[in-house]
Structure 1
Amino acid sequence: MRRASTLASSVLSRTLTSTLHDGGALSTIKHRFLLASLYSTTSNTGNSHSRRIFNPFSSSLGVAGALVSAAAAASLSQDVLAKEPPRAELVPKEVVLYQYEACPFCNKVKAYLDYYDIPYKVVEVNPISKKEIKWSDYKKVPILMVDGEQLVDSSAIIDKLGNKIHGKEIVESASDKDDDDEEIKWRRWVDNHLVHVLSPNIYRNTSEALESFDYITSNGNFSFAEKITVKYAGAAAMYFVSKKLKKKYNITDERAALYEAAETWVDALNGREFLGGSKPNLADLAVFGVLRPIRYLRSGRDMVEQTRIGDWYTRMENSVGGSARIKA
């Protein structure tokens, strides 16, 4: 039996080595096994599935099972590993994002950059003085500078940058495309509905407004005096702005509107891991991006506790991974 195990180990080693020569890495193979177990089973059955995968020579699998598992890991690589960094020659040399830390549209762009591992620098814009973007005729954020070219409007930024990094000619933006496309439909839903329920929730009372601006000033590059000014003046201003937005978009109950939006998104998934299927598409990245700045604020915690969106959000966190941000 020991000799059989040794032989199986040798065969499996050669199989893995072959996979590595095809462009993988041992850690990648292990990661694929892990993701397969996480994304293909429920939490109760996932643990036993994981044990079967990581103990390929157990009596339940045997030698054949080990080889099948190795082959499955290789074949699952494209479906399980969602991140798809662009070819090195297509990655822009310098990307600079002018943003507000809590801006949902800015975070939508960051989710895209992080997912595709495009290194970028961040310039935090003072929301009161906007001194950091005085050079631009466009006075909103996000502004993305890509090798000296100014891109504006989050959805247009993603469309144009996507065409650049995938080596395609620039085509029409999402706003010009047919709404019958599921991905486009939900990207529009993010811009036209989801973002409008966020501010009334983030700034629904003074304590939550201060919580939000404490997050903003903690992550921004502000002097002590600027932090105090931005935190209290900004929180007060946004508290009143949120009330106007609530009225403008006919929102009677902020939390109910947020919960309804979260449930609407989960319904759209229709049992899929992502709207894109086995990996996120641009709609997944858009929803994740605009929700990311609120996830660990009170409103975001409430949303995850009261709706079914938490599992999808966790999968997105794992797929998007760490930030591609670099020091300015």
Structure 2
Amino acid sequence: MRRVNGLATISRALSCGGAATEQWLAQAAFMSTCSSSSSNSHIFSQKPADRLGLSRPSFARGVAGTMLFSVAASPLAQDAHAKEPPRSEKFHYNEVVLYQYEACPFCNKVKAFLDYNNIPYKIVEVNPISKKEIKWSDYKKVPILKVDGEQMVDSSDIIDKLFHRINPDSSICDDGEEKKWCQWVDNHLVHVLSPNIYRTTSEALESFDYITTHGNFSFAERLVAKYAGAAAMYFVSKKLKKKYNITDERAALYEAAEIWVDALKDRHYLGGTKPNLADLSVFGVLRPIRYLKSGKDMVEHTRIGEWYTRMENTVGESARIKE
């Protein structure tokens, strides 16, 4: 019965029309919020960045929220470069806890920032259906970051607050080039990813193989998520492709990768000798797909691989505290 109900809910979500469909597709389009909330207020009246359909209690919205991205486990760089995180003596903390979905790109963006700055953090994996792990919060989406009990929400705002605590005398994305490329990630790069991840039924199933084994699902939920979710997102990706006028998914992905490499202008990073927030934003968004077929194809057919490997080494091993 659970399986049948889950399939029916997903079917209803896909068949609904009007504004509801438009909002759901917008959430499914990975519109992230790298730049500060105020800088994006003129673009969106509501920030869909970390919503991904998570505000509704239905199973389909819960599944979609965690499964728009399929995160492949990337091997830790053995020869990681020594990091010199811009830590501030004014930033003191005892415990940092990230409430997340393993497959959420916005959660991965926050983790990239934490890892690069070598801020140890604990992970609480949230069940996307019951959300029991965040019942204590009025905010029902992820990521949620708690720093010594203080709640921070929305990936963009989380990074903004942490950046200012680490660098109290600096401004986030105050460099025009950095801000431009942070916005490019939000307004372009994220939109070409979903049609690539779910381009074919086999690629959709590849994505859900990871989610169903790493996400916080029961056995019955895993069955529904893998097969119904993969089928649902396969068709949703076709709608997203049409919505954003993408004629060839891979060509759009390769073009985006090449545009980013061109922006580097032969520098190791957009930030020069060290990654800036735009580097971390692009890396955080791409990290979930790097070892999926779409990510492997991207590295094989574009020049982005060298930069990506450099970022992997520079960001280094996860700062996560394993319990």
Shift of 1:122: 1.7
In structure 2, the CA distance between the partners of 1:325 and 1:242, relative to structure 1 (3 Å rule), is same
Q: TM-score, normalised by structure 1?
A: 0.68
Distance change in 2, residues 1:168/1:94 (3 Å): farther
Name the counterpart of 1:124. Answer: 125
Say which SS state the counterpart of residue 152 (structure 2) adopts: strand
Closer, same or farther: CA 299–237 of 1 in aligned 2, 3 Å: same
Q: Deviations over 1:196-244 (max 9, x none)?
A: 1111111122211111121123223433333223322332332233222
**Matched position secondary structure for 2:99:** strand
Q: Does 1:246 align with 2:233?
A: no
Amino acid at match of 1:239: Y
**Are residue 107 (structure 1) and residue 108 (structure 2) matched?**
yes
Q: Which residue of 2 aligns with 1:199?
A: 194
Which residue pairs with 2:264 in the alignment?
Answer: 269
3-state SS in 2 of match to 1:197? helix
Give the Cα–Cα distance (whole angstroms) in 1 for the partners of residues 112 and 293 of structure 2. Answer: 21
Match of 2:213 among 197, 209, 218: 218
The answer as to whether partners of 2:103 and 2:215 remain within 8 angstroms in 1 is: no
Counterpart of 1:152 in structure 2 is 153
Q: 1:236 aligns with which of 231, 236, 254?
A: 231
In the alignment, does 2:281 pair up with 1:281?
no
| 86 and 100 in structure 1: CA distance in 2 versus 1, 3 angstrom threshold | same
Match of 1:294 in 2: 289
**Higher helix residue share:** 1
With a CA cutoff of 8 Å and minimum separation of 6, indicate the structure with the bigger relative contact order. Answer: 2
> What residue in structure 1 maps to residue 68 of structure 2?
none
Rg larger for? 1
Where does residue 94 of structure 1 map in the other structure?
95
- Distance in 1 (alpha carbons) for counterparts of 2:236 and 2:128: 14
Q: How many residues align?
A: 243
Q: For the aligned residues, what is the CA RMSD?
A: 2.3
Structure 1 residues 98 and 237, CA, compared in 2 at 3 Å: closer, same or farther? farther
Q: SS of the residue aligned with 1:90?
A: coil
Q: CA deviation at 1:158?
A: 0.6
Counting aligned pairs with the same residue, the percent is 77
CA distance, structure 2, for counterparts of residue 221 and residue 85 of structure 1 = 34
Alignment of 1:115-194 (within 5 A): 115-167=116-168, 181-194=176-189
Structure 1: tracts of 5 or more residues without a match: 1-79
Q: Deviation at 1:111? A: 0.5
Runs of 5+ in structure 2 lacking a partner? 1-80
Matched position secondary structure for 2:120: coil
Please say if residues 82 and 280 of structure 1, whose CA atoms lie closer than 8 Å, have aligned partners that are also in contact.
no
Alpha-carbon separation, structure 2, partners of 1:83 and 1:241: 42
Partners of 2:232 and 2:134 in 1: CA distance = 21
Q: 1:223 to 1:282 in 2, by over 3 A?
A: same
